[in-house]
């Protein structure tokens, strides 16, 4: 295996970031990786590397370029999916400075890259279905769930946390996400108010991710706002809490759910995108259908009170850690590539 090393020199990266910087929601953002210049540089770098290293097949992470060698793409999202949801709240929130015209241009380019690919590796069954809907032949689409690179779990601490949760009381909710609105943080905060008023005034919510408090007004009672935290601290945070709540309105895959489950923490997501593939309702968490805080509060209250669910989470954590490994993902990729190209 050869790493073709499609990277951007620091000076070029800085220049592209500056050239593509735009104000959005009172902050600067830069979608530089989606610019024509960045795409052209990535394609040229890949083709140059292939002249130095002849290979049997190329795995592109995202859609880099049409190339002469047989190639596969590995993705969790497409521009077609973005366009489908452009008018839905949160639909383009991951790409705040891209106009609809820019997304359409990128979609047309992506479709040309798709047309030349031997196969497309989708990170979820949901995305595989989206690719087929957009016109990719079903026999060229393969599902390869990703590994969780941050999922380094201390099994002893996970077992101790699971024992604590099983014994109760269970009152500590956790939200982790930089994009507060897209991840439905507003719905979670509203549900907390319902829970504290109607179920238990001691229920709390810890929010990790946004750089500053993302809602108008002061931090409400029961909310512990932590802002950004180093990745190394997240393992401890997962172990400290009783339920992970992230009913995301838009999600490519949702690796945070995997990380929470790998720490023995039950999770709440939305009945959309890949979340139903990760979360088994009643086994390791639950799914909401919409934006109603009362629906979310009812689900959370039921899960916190479910002794049987918590008693099985330690064993579930072991299964999650075993499955969501990059070793397994790599084997799945190799199987798909070998089958399509007869390489191996």
Q: Which domains does the chain have, with CATH numbers?
A: 10-147+326-341 (3.40.50.2000), 155-323 (3.40.50.2000)
Residue 212 has pLDDT above 60, yes or no: yes
Say what percent of the chain tops pLDDT 70.
Answer: 95
pLDDT value for 341: 76
CB count within 10 Å of CB 250 equals: 23
Q: What are phi and psi of 151, to 5 degrees?
A: -90, 70
Mean pLDDT within 260-287: 96
Residue 140 has pLDDT above 60, yes or no: yes
Assign 89 a pLDDT band (cuts: 50, 70, 90). Answer: low
Give the residue among 129, 119, 268 at the shortest CA–CA distance from 192. Answer: 268
Assign 265 a pLDDT band (cuts: 50, 70, 90). Answer: very high
pLDDT value for 133: 95
Residue 27 has pLDDT above 90, yes or no: no
pLDDT value for 258: 95
Alpha helices in 60-184 (DSSP H): 79-84, 100-116, 125-133, 155-167
The span from the CA of 222 to the CA of 116, in Å, is 53
* Tokens found for residue 211: 């750089």
pLDDT value for 88: 61
The span from the CA of 336 to the CA of 4, in Å, is 20
CB-based burial, 165-179: b 16+ in 10 Å, e otherwise: bbeeebbbbbbbbeb
pTM: 0.91
Assign 343 a pLDDT band (cuts: 50, 70, 90). Answer: very low
Residue 185 has pLDDT above 70, yes or no: yes
pLDDT value for 344: 43
């Amino acid at each position: 295996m050869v790493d073709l090393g499609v990277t951007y020199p620091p000076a070029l990266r800085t220049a592209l970031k500056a050239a593509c910087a735009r104000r959005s929601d009172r902050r600067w953002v830069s979608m530089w990786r989606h610019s024509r210049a960045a795409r052209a540089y990535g394609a040229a770098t890949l083709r140059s590397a292939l002249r130095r290293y002849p290979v049997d097949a190329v795995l592109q992470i995202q859609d880099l370029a049409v190339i002469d060698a047989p190639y596969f793409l590995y993705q969790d999202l497409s521009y077609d999916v973005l366009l489908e949801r452009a008018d839905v709240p949160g639909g383009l929130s991951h790409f705040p400075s891209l106009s609809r015209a820019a997304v359409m241009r990128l979609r047309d380019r992506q479709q040309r890259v798709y047309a030349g690919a031997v196969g497309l590796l989708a990170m979820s069954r949901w995305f595989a279905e989206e690719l087929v809907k957009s016109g990719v032949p079903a026999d060229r689409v393969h599902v390869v769930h990703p590994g969780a690179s941050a999922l380094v779990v201390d099994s002893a601490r996970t077992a101790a946390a699971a024992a604590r949760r099983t014994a109760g009381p269970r009152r500590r909710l956790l939200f982790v996400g930089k994009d507060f609105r897209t991840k439905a943080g507003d719905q979670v905060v509203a549900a907390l108010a319902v829970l504290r008023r109607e179920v238990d005034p001691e229920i709390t919510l810890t929010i990790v991710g946004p750089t500053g408090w993302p809602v108008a007004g002061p931090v409400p009672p029961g909310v512990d706002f932590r802002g950004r935290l180093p990745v190394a601290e997240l393992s401890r945070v997962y172990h400290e809490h009783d339920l992970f709540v992230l009913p995301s309105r838009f999600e490519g895959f949702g690796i945070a759910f995997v990380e929470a489950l790998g720490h023995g923490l039950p999770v709440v997501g939305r009945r959309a995108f890949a979340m139903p593939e990760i979360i088994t309702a009643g086994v390791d968490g639950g799914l909401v259908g919409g934006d109603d805080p009362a629906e979310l509060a009812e689900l959370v209250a039921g899960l916190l009170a479910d002794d049987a669910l918590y008693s099985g989470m330690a064993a579930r954590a072991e299964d999650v850690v075993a499955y969501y490994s990059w070793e397994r993902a790599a084997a799945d990729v190799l199987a798909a590539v070998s089958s399509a190209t007869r390489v191996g």
